[in-house]
Amino acid sequence: MGKRKGFTLIELLVVIAIIALLMAILMPALSRVKKQAQAVACMSNVKQWGHCWYMYLDDFDGKFPSGDRASGDWPDKLRPYYKERGALTLCPSAKKPYTDGGRVPFGAWRWKPQGGGWTNFEQKPGEDYGSYGLNEWLSDRNEDNYWRKREQKKANNIPLFLDCAIWDTWPNHQQGPPDVDGIVLNEMHLVCINRHNGFINTIFLDFNVRKVGLKELWTLNWHRNFDISGPWTKAGSVQSSDWPQWMRRLKDY
């Protein structure tokens, strides 16, 4: 009988080494593709939220919720306008709840109906959870800084709804960026999060949706008296060295 033919140990080791090399080359590319797909899906979610807000504002004469916890904040008010809580309320890059070990910028909050607040992440009927938030300066409150109604000049520069560490935020032009990505010490830190490679997805008051650069956040009209030429803008003479190390590579605005 003739000898059986097969791979030698050396040949098998060479094949394994080649496969390992190919995997090492392909994995970063696959990871980038996955992150890009998640960012696209996130933008689609934000567009859907735009439809929800449009319907809500049509039903309430263009007025935003007051933000009064007693009557219900936006997760309570918008509940009749959407059904897919898990698919729509969660950015694909930020699904893990904080109460289950999630961390900013990739964590998710949970909302307790009629009163809000942090709760254990155990979904119950009617409860909401997510990774998007409202610019809370859009509220029907009788104070100077608030945009109370939908009809506003330069609505294309007024953020409405966006990637956010919790469900709302009140940014101020004097608030600086976080020294470390994921550290939250002020309201601007809630949206200055590196969730999509230097950008967050945002819908504006004119219902246009686009990516917003993290340094661009300081040039948006968050409220009526927000200084879009403030200390953290090129117009305000911010220097590259003023930014935290993790943000210096990002585009200036």
The burial of 4, by beta-carbon neighbours within 10 Å (0-12 exposed, 13-18 middle, 19 or more buried), is given as exposed
Domain range enclosing 217 = 33-92+132-247
Can you give the pLDDT at residue 119?
A: 45
- Summarize pLDDT for 11-38 with one digit per residue, the tens: 777 788 788 777 777 666 666 767 788 8
In a domain, 27, yes or no: no
In a domain, 188, yes or no: yes
In a domain, 10, yes or no: no
In a domain, 118, yes or no: no
pLDDT < 50 positions in the chain: 116-123, 125
In a domain, 227, yes or no: yes
Instruction: Give residue for tokens 């210096």.
Output: 248
Instruction: Give residue for tokens 């263009």.
Output: 62
In a domain, 252, yes or no: no
Looking at the structure of the chain, the number of domains it has is: 1
- Summarize pLDDT for 126-146 with one digit per residue, the tens: 556 899 999 999 999 989 999
Can you give the pLDDT at residue 118?
A: 44
Can you give the pLDDT at residue 29?
A: 62
In a domain, 155, yes or no: yes
In a domain, 163, yes or no: yes
Positive or negative torsion for Cα 240, 244, 246, 252: negative
Can you give the pLDDT at residue 84?
A: 64
Give the rounded percent of residues in the chain with a pLDDT score beyond 90.
64
Can you give the pLDDT at residue 166?
A: 93
